Structure 1
């Protein structure tokens, strides 16, 4: 009886004793790929920019499946972060520029025109007159003179032109010349401006980038082109500024048509890139289309619409015009969907699509000896939990007293291979099995004890009866 009691106590302890899960520390052979990091001696921290190959292999949007190992194969603490876009001084000034139309007689070629320009003591243009003596009704505008003297000392980066609503549809080239004395002129750029309507969309291309500009500017256009009736000119001028901003990387996506859905295209970006800019351009020349971009493989419920707008590829006098790059909400999605909602031109080929993204940076504590190993790509490692994260945050991006050494990882090589990127098959629920086995053993033990006790009681009763007899 005593032995059964002890056994029952042991079983009871097994029932209430927690079965602690065991997590082995990640090792390099738990990751698909790696890159070697060579470091110079003398630094406690090192920082690197995550390469494209890392985003193409990681399985977590939070980049939890990467580690830094030292030469002894031990994990060293690291932190992944997005660099700040720091602007220390306002970088752009906008100013409306005075402009003066230059006119010639309607029947004149415009090659010869006498211009009288009056300036004040500061060099600001106060009046412009043409010397042909013709009434204004018989004149045509052939160019515009712009006065940017008030922005002297600031570098004009672009001009924004606004013009009258007539004609409603307009596209043309603008020649931009620059001068410091109103006598000697040099051509600095040619820009294309446009105002076009397409269904519910409107294409407004009103900005001309400028490489360099003097105190005065002159705008003109090719002979035979419609006259531009300006209503406003705005100059954007850059001032001295300091920006700490990561460079954008552009990655071209694979775009495949969906066979049973015309105008629908699957997009494979190849990895979990933190994309927040896009360029979408149709391959066909002189084509326009209204499109919607989703993050996901279908336009059904559950996928996020990221952008809708007009894409175009227009040829104007040998110059190709494309829609500009567009900002979108930052999304770490590998697969996307593009649908053509409205198009009166043939879109027979998948459009070219590029995604713009800024890579994360990784800072790590150089414990142990180098070279170090950046290992990444795994579905079987836990989320990292380093106790020195506040320390790493203090010194990232050179913000602390100790400046981290900047390093560049070497080429990618295979560790355990792409099998580490496959979903891990569900493991057997050993804890549940052990619990049920323990419960069953307890029930059987109690049953055996009950049977034994019953038999002992039966024997005792028989013995008592025989003694009474």
Structure 2
């Protein structure tokens, strides 16, 4: 009956093609859209011991650099049947040294006399504020000491271990000097703590570059009294020290970090370098170190989140490569999405080799429910994937200590869908796209069918109408 109606009526014939197309779209919609392992670029088989409900594993370095999304949203865990299992992500915490500030009272000392010894040290006679003389042997070599300061901690703070000492002086003093720092508990026996540390203050237009921190050669050094000796070449101006503060150490939680090196390209003038990461990363810090030993570089730093994005100014500061003084990182708070870094030398240039730059990214731990049948598979690398990670408190009951879960291990990397998954939609997304195309085609076919039916009706009406001028 329905077949006869479709054949005999104009409306039926007009709806036949859209109906067939709708059936085809429904058949395509019937294909399951859940992600599968082949929707991701790479994977690693997960090894577990025992029959626990939950396991945790540390993500390997290649996962961070091969995901399609820098926030790791394209991570999945599959069971042996290729079904997704629930998981959560969290940062790995490790002990951190938190700063403890120790104020130091500054006393300028007058240099009464100085003499060089055969062993390379210098004997200095310094006048203390009370007028008494202080005799010190210091490793200053042939350079003449031009200024000295006594830095005194409080009686109850003299046994605090310090990592570095920060100096302060009034702004507007363009200066460049070096400093040697000695420590003592009784002002009789002095031990060298830092030697040849650069101290400078440079201004250009509205910009100011300052290097006023002395890192102690042995971290965790303690002393009640600190003696700062300052010298410079070519009679350069010395910064007038007005304040000082020691930075001590207390232990607290810190997120464990991984290091990502950046590849750089010089501008041939040795004044600007552009560095790239293979894929954008959320970095918590940058470490910059001049390639040449015993060098100091004032730099302007910019970053960008993608190759086609605009550069964004980050900081202007002085970086150095000195023995026993490791480079200090430029910290980001919060983490910043970085794909490229550009550095520009300020009123100087580097030698034949670009400064070295590396980024630091927080390490992440994955906790998953070992549901279904193992072995399980960690998969990553899909531009079409959305975020599937659960909050940790939603994955694990509150009475289970997630830190005490057994660790799982990973086998070698295997190729699933390949590198093409990093840029192209996964099969599930492609099926959804075909569904959209089918629906649009259905709408277009329906519109054409309505136009065809309207034409047929117009033609039939004209055939049935009597010719003009005739009488019934």
* TM beyond 0.5: yes
Is 1:207 aligned to 2:214, yes or no?
Answer: yes
* Distance in 2 between residues matched to 1:341 and 1:172, nearest whole Å: 21
* Distance in 2 between residues matched to 1:436 and 1:248, nearest whole Å: 55
- TM-score (normalizing by structure 2): 0.71
2:252 to 228, 242, 260: 242
Q: Does the 8 Å contact 1:32/1:418 carry over to 2? A: yes
Is 1:130 aligned to 2:136, yes or no?
Answer: no
**1:38-77 equivalent positions in 2, closer than 5 A:** 38-77=47-86
Counterpart of 1:354?
A: 358
Per-residue displacement from partner, 1:374-410 (whole Å, max 9, x unpaired)?
A: 111123x442557xx35x43467x9753424444534
Alignment partner of 1:24: what SS? coil
Per-residue displacement from partner, 1:389-444 (whole Å, max 9, x unpaired)?
A: 35x43467x97534244445344232232232243598662322233234434544
Counterpart of 2:139?
A: none
Summarize the Cα distance change of 1:23–1:307 in structure 2 as closer, same or farther, 3 Å threshold: farther
Summarize the Cα distance change of 1:7–1:130 in structure 2 as closer, same or farther, 3 Å threshold: same
Q: CA deviation at 1:9?
A: 9.4
2:113 to 106, 109, 114: 106
Is 1:254 aligned to 2:284, yes or no?
Answer: no
Summarize the Cα distance change of 1:220–1:95 in structure 2 as closer, same or farther, 3 Å threshold: closer
Summarize the Cα distance change of 1:147–1:420 in structure 2 as closer, same or farther, 3 Å threshold: closer
Per-residue displacement from partner, 1:250-292 (whole Å, max 9, x unpaired)?
A: 2111112468x99554432112321131123443564635434
Is 1:435 aligned to 2:446, yes or no?
Answer: no
Summarize the Cα distance change of 1:115–1:369 in structure 2 as closer, same or farther, 3 Å threshold: farther
Q: CA deviation at 1:86?
A: 10
Q: CA deviation at 1:25?
A: 1.8
* Distance in 2 between residues matched to 1:324 and 1:40, nearest whole Å: 42
Counterpart of 1:232?
A: 243
Counterpart of 1:7?
A: 12
Structure 2 gap ranges (5+): 117-121, 136-145
Out of 287-296 and 214-223, give the one that drifted further.
Answer: 214-223
* Distance in 2 between residues matched to 1:242 and 1:185, nearest whole Å: 32
**1:361-380 equivalent positions in 2, closer than 5 A:** 361-379=365-383
Per-residue displacement from partner, 1:227-257 (whole Å, max 9, x unpaired)?
A: 9965333223334x431x2222221111124
Give RMSD over aligned pairs: 4.8
Q: Does the 8 Å contact 1:37/1:371 carry over to 2? A: yes
Out of 361-370 and 214-223, give the one that drifted further.
Answer: 214-223
Alignment partner of 1:76: what SS? coil
Counterpart of 1:330?
A: 335
Is 1:393 aligned to 2:393, yes or no?
Answer: yes
Summarize the Cα distance change of 1:238–1:273 in structure 2 as closer, same or farther, 3 Å threshold: same
- TM-score (normalizing by structure 1): 0.71
* Distance in 2 between residues matched to 1:346 and 1:258, nearest whole Å: 11
Alignment partner of 2:349: what SS? coil
Alignment partner of 2:180: what SS? strand
* Distance in 2 between residues matched to 1:48 and 1:58, nearest whole Å: 17
Alignment partner of 1:144: what SS? strand
* Distance in 2 between residues matched to 1:449 and 1:47, nearest whole Å: 70
Q: Does the 8 Å contact 1:275/1:330 carry over to 2? A: yes
Q: CA deviation at 1:54?
A: 1.5
**1:66-465 equivalent positions in 2, closer than 5 A:** 66-82=75-91, 91-98=98-105, 105-106=112-113, 111=123, 129-130=132-133, 144=150, 146-151=152-157, 154-162=160-168, 168-179=174-185, 185-190=190-195, 192-197=197-202, 199=204, 200-209=207-216, 211-219=219-227, 221=229, 230-239=241-250, 241-243=251-253, 245-257=254-266, 265-283=273-291, 286=295, 288-295=297-304, 302-313=309-320, 319=323, 324-328=328-332, 330-334=335-339, 336-338=340-342, 340=344, 342-345=346-349, 349-379=353-383, 381-384=384-387, 389=390, 392-394=392-394, 401-403=400-402, 404-424=405-425, 429-444=437-452
Q: Does the 8 Å contact 1:32/1:377 carry over to 2? A: yes
Q: Does the 8 Å contact 1:155/1:212 carry over to 2? A: yes
Q: Does the 8 Å contact 1:283/1:313 carry over to 2? A: no
